[in-house]
Amino acid sequence: MKKFLMSVLWVALFAGLGAMYYYQTTIDARINSMNEKAQSIEKNYQKFTDQLNDLEVKFVGRAKHIRQNQNDIKDLYSKVEELKKIHSQDVFLLNTRVDSLGAVVENNTTNMETQLEALRKVTTSLRAMVNQNQITTNQQIQKISRDLEALQKKVDDLEVLIVPEEDKRKKR
């Protein structure tokens, strides 16, 4: 049993050493890649600082304006970010209001169509009633005209009868 435990211990020791070696090599590889990236960043930074130095030499006396413009650009960028945040909320509110307005418009359109249909029915029935009243009125006017003509004839007949009697009285 002691030998077995010793062999397990040796295997665990070698496994641990192998894992340590593996992690050490991967860490070394990561450190090397990070060093390479740091060197490239340092080169880019050095180029940038060289270019800035060249610009400073070219623009002696204008550095104050350049810094002011840089600060203004930073301020503008922060304002743009703030506006994005504000307008994202506004757009959300606008979308919800547009949706609710769309529902109101749909509801109003449905109500309007219902009222238009009812109005069309009323208009149609009014037209029919007006036409019927016009026909009835025309018939009554024709009847009254006939009655008036009949009365006119009777009045004329009465005048004819009355006139001769008056003529007789005048003669006497």
Residues 37-74 pLDDT 10s: 888 888 888 888 888 777 766 666 666 777 888 898 89
129 within a domain of the structure (yes/no): no
82 within a domain of the structure (yes/no): no
25 within a domain of the structure (yes/no): yes
Domain that holds residue 46: 1-59
46 within a domain of the structure (yes/no): yes
Model pLDDT for residues 18-28, shown as the tens digit of each residue = 988 888 888 88
136 within a domain of the structure (yes/no): no
- Report yes or no: 130 and 138 within 8 Å, Cβ to Cβ: no
Q: Structurally, how many domains does the chain consist of? A: 1
**Per the structure block, which two tokens stand in for 167?**
């003529």
71 within a domain of the structure (yes/no): no
Residue 66 neighbours by CB distance under 10 Å: 13
87 within a domain of the structure (yes/no): no
Give the mean pLDDT of the chain.
83
pTM: 0.34
- Check residue 136 and give its pLDDT: 94
